[in-house]
Structure 1
């Protein structure tokens, strides 16, 4: 692509931005992605990344977006080394099938476990085989896929997305800035939800596990990824600390070891912190025409489920962009 030519500018290079960019490029549009951070430096890169609608609204739309994304991950799992997507068995503890939305009925193999089969100190749980995404690999795959389609990713700090996109020759800009939308488009509803993780050597754990009370700041989960076991976690509202807290890390390991005791002695490889881009009023996906005639399409506020709904939301963005262009 010519360095100065684009039909659409996508701002943000996390999983939501890159997935949106790929979908738009697949429609034949010339795409540039502008991001202050490289994909591997975004919040998406530190996500545990199990497919599951977690801490995201609006419930009425999330189910369809999530199921659309589930179908795509099912296809990508055919080549896990390249895409980073694998189908892995596991258990959601403290979860009842009857308490989930209609979307759950369309997830193959999702079943209620008898209490005696639920690991750890939990009285209920669901068994499932779900996509587990190795995010550094998947983000690299998305970037490569976009490049194959002629798209470009550029490190750039954006302050006025519409004006800068128009100056670059684009007639549409797609805002996938996550928590950055708080300042970039003046959305005071955006709230950080701090997530802290511990990466350890895998002592032989092959299945994932979660116990996540949406009303609690503490969660318990572990996800086996190539070369490591990811332990979590936290969901601390309005906490923007990016440095790992040693006491929190120790508590995470202890909670996970209540389910799998061998985790207690696993060697720690690294600590990670990310800020989930929560929006209590729900994901914002809409197009607006600005006074200068530019079209601004929003796609942000995915909370802890950006990976879960990325492709469904990208399809909606592609529809909005196509409808807005002459």
Structure 2
């Protein structure tokens, strides 16, 4: 789409949900502009771990459907990991993180099998799942949108989206929807991560302590991402040193070599949680159509493609 050409659709929000939604629409031949307040590499999505697995998202039945739709895409993208940032990596889902995986995902992940504690440090299910290097992946999504004729613009909006001069607005603003809609049911779930030098770990683990604290580590190129936390209603984006120390200790309890790994960075992201994902359309008083697509919690990466297709289906 030429820079001066009026868009059919403006997608607001430059995270993984906004990008994938804009791509689906653009690849269907629609004239799409993506408006983002922050560079795509500066969004919450850039902080994600990011293992394909539905986490902190409601309702479960829809999330699983969207996740399986996204799984197909990620498995295809894994053929070019250096370009897409998507790899298929072995790991184990500990008992506290299974979420009925043996029933809803078994026929789509043939590698799924029981994993004894001596193999990975926790008892659960072994699986080969997509693991996404988000800085690489977000750059890939941006380029894919541009290649489909979409336009990416650095723009901000205010309540009601009055700045958007297009007949269709798709609201993928995540936590920003709390003020922009406004929707007070959108709330942050704070996640803190520690990034360390990888001491030679090539498999991921997602588990939970007896007290319910999530423990996970993801081997990404050149680093190991350790987590994590899920603090409801906490807005602070400043890393907490005590929390970081506890994260490292929990991960080191599973793989002792993590204890001595050099810390490279601390990261905090605010997951945009809601009692249920909002995926619906409404008519604005001025005749524009507003499609809401937000509230994906900690599963935006996991459900992005499946959910984006449903959102695109709401656009006439």
| Other-structure match for 1:226 | 221
- Check if 1:305 corresponds to 2:306: no
State how far apart, in whole Å, the 2-side matches of 1:105 and 1:304 are. 22
Which of the residues 292, 295, 298 maps onto 2:289?
A: 295
State how far apart, in whole Å, the 1-side matches of 2:69 and 2:258 are. 34
**What is the SS of the residue equivalent to 1:164?**
coil
Alpha carbons 2:161, 2:180 under 8 Å: kept: no
Assess, with a 3 A threshold, how the Cα gap between structure 1 residues 104 and 95 changes in structure 2: closer, same or farther: farther
The count of residues paired between Structure 1 and Structure 2 equals: 315
| Other-structure match for 2:33 | 32
- Check if 1:129 corresponds to 2:123: no
Assess, with a 3 A threshold, how the Cα gap between structure 1 residues 215 and 34 changes in structure 2: closer, same or farther: farther
Which of the residues 185, 189, 200 maps onto 2:185?
A: 189
Assess, with a 3 A threshold, how the Cα gap between structure 1 residues 108 and 48 changes in structure 2: closer, same or farther: same
Alpha carbons 1:11, 1:161 under 8 Å: kept: no
State how far apart, in whole Å, the 1-side matches of 2:273 and 2:111 are. 27
**What is the SS of the residue equivalent to 1:180?**
helix
| Other-structure match for 1:9 | 10
Assess, with a 3 A threshold, how the Cα gap between structure 1 residues 319 and 145 changes in structure 2: closer, same or farther: same
| Other-structure match for 2:140 | 141
Assess, with a 3 A threshold, how the Cα gap between structure 1 residues 155 and 212 changes in structure 2: closer, same or farther: farther
For structure 1, the residue ranges without an aligned partner over 5 or more in a row are none
State how far apart, in whole Å, the 2-side matches of 1:164 and 1:256 are. 46
Q: CA deviation at 1:278?
A: 0.5
1:175-254 alignment runs, 5 A limit: 175-212=171-208, 216=212, 218-254=213-249
Q: CA deviation at 1:99?
A: 3.1
For structure 2, the residue ranges without an aligned partner over 5 or more in a row are none
| Other-structure match for 1:258 | 253
Per the normalisation by structure 1, the TM-score is 0.92
Alpha carbons 1:207, 1:224 under 8 Å: kept: yes
Deviates more, 1:4-13 or 1:111-120: 111-120
State how far apart, in whole Å, the 1-side matches of 2:161 and 2:185 are. 21
State how far apart, in whole Å, the 2-side matches of 1:196 and 1:114 are. 27
State how far apart, in whole Å, the 1-side matches of 2:210 and 2:177 are. 24
Q: CA deviation at 1:317?
A: 1.1
State how far apart, in whole Å, the 1-side matches of 2:115 and 2:49 are. 27
State how far apart, in whole Å, the 2-side matches of 1:111 and 1:27 are. 35
Q: CA deviation at 1:215?
A: 8.8
State how far apart, in whole Å, the 2-side matches of 1:152 and 1:272 are. 29
Alpha carbons 1:47, 1:274 under 8 Å: kept: yes
Alpha carbons 1:55, 1:304 under 8 Å: kept: yes
